[in-house]
Amino acid sequence: MKLKTSLFLATVVLAAMLALSACGNNNSKNTGSPSPSLPASPSGSAPASSQAAGGATKDITITAVNWKFDQPEIKAKTGDTLKLTLKNDQGVHGIEISDLNVKIKNGETVEVKLDKAGTYEYHCNIQCGQGHTKMKGTIVVE
Ligand SMILES: [Cu+2]
């Protein structure tokens, strides 16, 4: 009986402490919450990396029509490799990423390793008509 009582008391004290600390967190934001950012799904077989950086290989097909690319913004992480494929659905277009020295022709797949964070513009490099200069997109590397 005595043991049960002290267990009960310990539980009450613990609950009170938790409630107090919760209140404290609400009132002041000066203490960085030590949230251990756990991976959402631990199912992946990728080795745990100390950095949040990428390293993944992604297949991305950019489809072009007159005068638009269907992927105006491609997002990636530093260290990722993109396998970019250009598919012309209408008209004749090419892709050039000047900052990365990459050119992709219709039907071609080019591997692009993203070593540095930044925003890289890509554009159509074949004079394809009146909307040619509007054919642009970006690759955002975080
Ligand atoms: Cu063009």
Name the range with the highest mean pLDDT among 39-43, 49-53, 65-69: 65-69
Q: pLDDT tens, 62-73? A: 999 999 999 999
Tokens of 77: 């992480």
Residue ranges making up the domain that contains 116: 57-141
End-to-end CA distance of the chain: 60
Q: pLDDT tens, 90-115? A: 999 999 999 999 999 999 999 999 99
Q: Is residue 34 part of a domain?
A: no
Q: Is residue 115 part of a domain?
A: yes
Which residues does 63 contact at the CB level (< 8 Å), separation at least 6? 69, 70, 71, 87, 88, 89
Main-chain phi, psi angles of 114, to 5 degrees: -105, 95
Q: 121 C-alpha vs ligand 1 centroid, how far in Å?
A: 14
| Share of residues in the chain with pLDDT > 90 (%) | 62
Q: 82 C-alpha vs ligand 1 centroid, how far in Å?
A: 22
More confident residue, 110 or 49: 110
User: Is pLDDT above 90 for 129?
Assistant: yes
Q: 115 C-alpha vs ligand 1 centroid, how far in Å?
A: 28
Q: Is residue 84 part of a domain?
A: yes
Q: What is the CATH number of the domain that holds 101?
A: 2.60.40.420
Q: Is residue 133 part of a domain?
A: yes
Split into its structural domains, the chain has a count of 1
Q: Is residue 52 part of a domain?
A: no
| Share of residues in the chain with pLDDT > 70 (%) | 63
User: Is pLDDT above 90 for 21?
Assistant: no
Which helix (H) or strand (E) segment is 46 a member of? none
In this prediction, residue 54 carries a pLDDT of: 87
Q: 93 C-alpha vs ligand 1 centroid, how far in Å?
A: 5
Q: Is residue 100 part of a domain?
A: yes
Query: Distance between CA 86 and CA 81 in Å, rounded?
Result: 16
**Torsion, CA 119, CA 79, CA 107, CA 87, rounded to 10:** -50
The answer to whether 71 and 135 have CB atoms below 8 angstroms apart is no
> Average pLDDT in the 19-47 region?
49
Q: 129 C-alpha vs ligand 1 centroid, how far in Å?
A: 7
Neighbours of 106 (CB within 10 A): 16
Q: Is residue 125 part of a domain?
A: yes
Q: 141 C-alpha vs ligand 1 centroid, how far in Å?
A: 24
